[in-house]
Structure 1
Amino acid sequence: MSDHGSLEPSNSSSLPFISTSYSHLSENIPRRIKSILEYENDNDEEHIEHFKYKQDLDRKLTVTSIIGLGFSLMGVPFGISSTLWISLMDGGNVTMLYGWIIVASFSICVVLSLSEIISKYPTSGGVYHFSALLSNDKYSLTSSWFTGWFLLIGNWTYCVSILFSGSQFILSIFGLKNVYYKEDIFFVLGVYFILLSLCGFVNFKLSKYLEAINKMCIIWSIGSVLLIDVLLIVFAKRTNSIKDILSTFDNSRSGWPDPIAFMVGFQSSSFTLTGYGMLFSMTDEVKRPERNMPKGAVSSIFISGIFGLIFILPVLTILPELKLLLDDTPEIMPIDIVFKAATESYIVSFLLALLLIGTVFFQAVGSLTTASRTTYAFARDGGLPFKNLWVEVDDIEQSRIPKNALFLSMVVCAVLSLLSLISSSAFNAFMGASVISLSLANGIPILCSMLNKRRKIKGAAFRLKYLCSGWIINSISVFWVVLSAIILCFPPVIKGMTAATMNYAIVVFLAFTAIVTLGYKFWGITSFEGPQIDTDYFELQGIQEQSARPEDFVIGIDDQDDEEDELHYNEDAESVMTKKDPSKSKKTVHWTSSNRNSFDEQETIVGSQYEARTLLEDPTEGRSN
């Protein structure tokens, strides 16, 4: 009894001590950090921003289509194959394998960060709209202008890079028969213009099949990786040991110190995985973009990373000596030699090459598609001269496309390719500058969000908020963007380097930046408008929810018909002010495009609920006025 009694005072006295210690500890946490932590754990309602742009393009793309487009833009098997020489020069197996894992991991962080933003601001302006919306008002237009031009230049030159390297690869197939094959720039350009014309035709005449093409890309890309792996392993006459696959590091050709060579080898994976930022230019054509764009973008980068690894491991398993790949046949792409040396069969090697040519086609079509949409969006905001010409949308073969923006992108790609006639180093510098531009365009909005304490993405449909994951992933993303931009300025090889083999990417990028700066000072500052948020949307939404007739506009969750919804309702205009807990949502409100147009044409609806009811009952009345 006494023992029990003696314990009670001890327990009771310890509680105030613990409470006091906790209170003291809490008071010593910097208020700024504490407020950030509390803010990151908010459970506020979703608040998805809407924009004033007219919906000119068809919303027809699904999550699966976005994944397919992401696959096509990154083009994993061909992307790795066309830049294989870089990783082999700068370390071989170790650089190729672990470099891919590192770059893919960093890229996933960047995509997660951008997906969080797109779920708050679903706009086809993509990263340049993000920069404007997440910056302080003072720098909003400036950051948007530079990000927009970096994105546009990156899109155009990325498309050129894919088409040109694809043309080189197609012609290098002749090296499978003739080891003395020499590349002829005029033949390369001939194939280049054929590919460009073919991709332009697909985007112009077959745009209505874009959904099917993107889905087909998934099947082709995954099937190609698996089939190439199987054929290489089955027909291989020799294989390397697991130790050699995982630990061989040969830096005898680059001239860089080993640690730097390893990082310079990241260029190979960076060139392949940079295309994810171009995905967001397709937002205007995606159903429910605030949810489907994050799902599609994150899924595509995850799957690309996995299948890149699945492709790399078998290649390293049968990889011949580097002397054969890099020294004896420098005019032939190393992947062609890998196929031929491993299988010792021209027919099998040719079949493997054809599979990669298929990925070239999908990648080129996808890059031209996103380039045209970026051109269209940027011109719509006044970022290009003659904006009315480039924003024109036409009905072509039962599909609405920005025809003139597509043609402008094709002309730019054609002109840039002619640089290869002047100097191969100048052309390569433009291609390197394209990846730097895309990387910075992806990183600027993430940095802007962090500088504003991530408060401007409050209410996003997709949040990185638990355990400060948003801050951690955003910080990693910005670090990687800066590091990759620096790495891309390094020449892959400095041993025996001459003026012709120097990497001039940073020079070209700085020239781009100077021209863009002058353009903003003398023209853009008066013509460029930036993103146009529809500040009246939620007020109109509130009026509609009160006045809409249930039989016309309100669909209960339990009786919603997906097919009817797709045919008769504009999914982009559905109610976005719903709780994150779907069980708390009683109904979903949809607007048809005609209803939205009627609201836009009747400004007095904001102040008159009666007029709102009138328009909802007779959508054509607003048009007659």
Structure 2
Amino acid sequence: MRQSTLQMKKQFGTLATLGIAFAILNSWVAEAGSMLAPIALGGPVTIVWGCVAAAIFTTVLCLGVAELASAFPGAGGPYHYTYVLASEAHRKFLSFVVGWSNLIAWWFIISSAALFLASFVVGMAILTHPDYVAKAWQVWLVYVAIIVVATIIVIGGNDIMSFLTSMSLYWSLGCFFICFITAVAMHAGEPYRNASFVFGNFSNESGWSSSGTAFVVGWMLSTYNFLGIDAATHLSEEMPHPEIEVPRAMVGAIATGLVTAFLFLIALLFCITDINEIVTSPTGVPILAIFYQATGSKAAAIALTCLIFVSIMFSELAGILVAGRTAWAFARDNGLPFSKYFSELNETVKSPVRATLLSSFLAIAYGAIYIGSVVAFQSIVGSSIIMLFTTYGTPPTRAPSIALNRV
């Protein structure tokens, strides 16, 4: 590993580390932005129980990665653990594959968060101006603007990132309570749905002939809402005690994510009056349509959506921060083309500016696919689920004695 004369400041304590881990997962917010597919793939049953199943599945992987993060802290994260644990004959190849898979997945995470934000902006415009028809290139321009602004904040505000990540935790939890209480208290229209609808109604509108297949696909998509559990591992070199802080942040983020997401989903489902209207909403943003149904007010729906918008913006900041650190660590270990160039730390801000700009640039380039095919772009971004979970599962399989005896 090539060492630089410059060192990044150890600015992330326990709260800031938990903040960035939760900002990436932000499970209840992720559910708000990605409900459309689960609604079609089984409705309430897939939404509620798919969330629980996804959390359990992710927790199993998280415990393995957390143990390795405690034993072998390093900014490389999963590829670093793979290199340490794999046999001499296979470690370079496996760590190279895991490193690239992990890095590309993080670039996709940046893209998905930016797309959610762009969709929110366009959706709110459609809600207030029903005659407006958004073009794909307009969504992409908003997408680009969001990534550019977030990148400027991450690079220029490096010294305050620990403060921002800590605040993101408070903001997200505060928004959760506001949205939860407001949606329930302002419920308009028909009476609340009953418990049998919320916990037992299965409605397969996906086109799959098998309800079981629809549920499994919906469950797999629900795992997106617990994606990015390795975020804290990539900041290990910026923490005073990563062997303690990283595992705590990882487990704490999933636990908090499950509780908030589960309660939030239940509240929304009790307030939904017409699930088909949610699926076919011209806004293309299910949570915006749900808030509108729940409150009966466009202003209230937009206000609640704006709270979530800011929370996802924190996620975008965290994603760019982590992706930049991941690219920097991989370049430092000669995993990238032009590794020497991208492994340099900026002397002014003492952060990997080049690696961060690379990550943002590639995320913008990915977004251009959206102009040509929305489905193709969403499919590429969706592949981040498989890529990340593969990187989480690889290190423990290379050291079964450690995985079984210590995790």
TM over 0.5: yes
1:478-522 deviation per Cα after TM superposition (whole angstroms, max 9, x unaligned): xxxxxxxxxxxxxxxxxxxxxxxxxxxxxxxxxxxxxxxxxxxxx
Residue 85 of structure 1 is matched in structure 2 by 36
Quick one: structure 1 residues 286 and 442, their matched pair in 2 at CA, closer, same or farther if it must change by over 3 Å?
same
1:1-34 deviation per Cα after TM superposition (whole angstroms, max 9, x unaligned): xxxxxxxxxxxxxxxxxxxxxxxxxxxxxxxxxx
1:77 to partner: Cα distance? 3.1
Q: Which amino acid aligns with 2:369?
A: L
1:360 to 2:279 alignment: no
1:348-400 deviation per Cα after TM superposition (whole angstroms, max 9, x unaligned): 1111011111112101000000100010000000011211211111243xx42
Secondary structure of the equivalent of 1:299?
helix
1:245-287 deviation per Cα after TM superposition (whole angstroms, max 9, x unaligned): 1111111443241111111111332112111123311111112
Residue 371 of structure 1 is matched in structure 2 by 323
Following the alignment from structure 1 to structure 2, what is the Cα–Cα distance between the partners of residues 441 and 148? 8
1:176 to 2:140 alignment: no
Is the CA contact 1:336–1:353 (under 8 Å) kept in the aligned structure 2?
yes
1:152-231 alignment, distance < 5 Å:
152-231=103-182
Is the CA contact 1:156–1:413 (under 8 Å) kept in the aligned structure 2?
yes
1:24-423 alignment, distance < 5 Å:
53-54=3-4, 56-237=7-188, 238-327=191-280, 329-396=281-348, 399-423=349-373
Q: Which amino acid aligns with 1:258?
A: S
Q: Which amino acid aligns with 2:72?
A: Y
Residue 376 of structure 2 is matched in structure 1 by 426
State the percentage of identical aligned residues.
22
Following the alignment from structure 1 to structure 2, what is the Cα–Cα distance between the partners of residues 107 and 192? 29
Residue 583 of structure 1 is matched in structure 2 by none
Is the CA contact 2:126–2:282 (under 8 Å) kept in the aligned structure 1?
no
Following the alignment from structure 1 to structure 2, what is the Cα–Cα distance between the partners of residues 286 and 183? 44
Structure 1: tracts of 5 or more residues without a match? 1-50, 458-462, 471-625
Q: Which amino acid aligns with 1:433?
A: S
1:195 to partner: Cα distance? 0.8
Q: Which amino acid aligns with 2:102?
A: L
Secondary structure of the equivalent of 2:75?
coil
Following the alignment from structure 1 to structure 2, what is the Cα–Cα distance between the partners of residues 177 and 331? 10
Query: Match for 2:398 among 448, 467, 470?
Result: 448
Following the alignment from structure 1 to structure 2, what is the Cα–Cα distance between the partners of residues 290 and 323? 48
Secondary structure of the equivalent of 1:195?
helix
1:192 to partner: Cα distance? 1.1
Following the alignment from structure 2 to structure 1, what is the Cα–Cα distance between the partners of residues 68 and 209? 39
Q: Report the RMSD for the aligned CA atoms in angstroms.
A: 1.7
Higher RCO, Cα 8 Å, sep 6+: 2
Is the CA contact 2:283–2:289 (under 8 Å) kept in the aligned structure 1?
no
Indicate the structure (1 or 2) with the bigger Cα radius of gyration.
1
Following the alignment from structure 1 to structure 2, what is the Cα–Cα distance between the partners of residues 464 and 331? 51
Size of the alignment, in residue pairs? 404
Residue 438 of structure 1 is matched in structure 2 by 388
1:523-576 deviation per Cα after TM superposition (whole angstroms, max 9, x unaligned): xxxxxxxxxxxxxxxxxxxxxxxxxxxxxxxxxxxxxxxxxxxxxxxxxxxxxx
Quick one: structure 1 residues 226 and 373, their matched pair in 2 at CA, closer, same or farther if it must change by over 3 Å?
same
Q: Which amino acid aligns with 1:424?
A: V
Is the CA contact 1:86–1:267 (under 8 Å) kept in the aligned structure 2?
no
Quick one: structure 1 residues 181 and 75, their matched pair in 2 at CA, closer, same or farther if it must change by over 3 Å?
farther
1:196 to partner: Cα distance? 0.9
Following the alignment from structure 1 to structure 2, what is the Cα–Cα distance between the partners of residues 157 and 252? 28
1:421-443 deviation per Cα after TM superposition (whole angstroms, max 9, x unaligned): 22222212211222211111111
Is the CA contact 1:118–1:293 (under 8 Å) kept in the aligned structure 2?
yes
Is the CA contact 1:225–1:310 (under 8 Å) kept in the aligned structure 2?
no
1:330 to partner: Cα distance? 4.7
Following the alignment from structure 1 to structure 2, what is the Cα–Cα distance between the partners of residues 283 and 87? 35
1:131 to partner: Cα distance? 0.8
1:179 to partner: Cα distance? 4.0
1:93-141 deviation per Cα after TM superposition (whole angstroms, max 9, x unaligned): 1110011011111111111111100111011110001111111111111
Quick one: structure 1 residues 351 and 330, their matched pair in 2 at CA, closer, same or farther if it must change by over 3 Å?
closer
1:292-348 deviation per Cα after TM superposition (whole angstroms, max 9, x unaligned): 111111111111111111211101110122221113x25521111111111111221
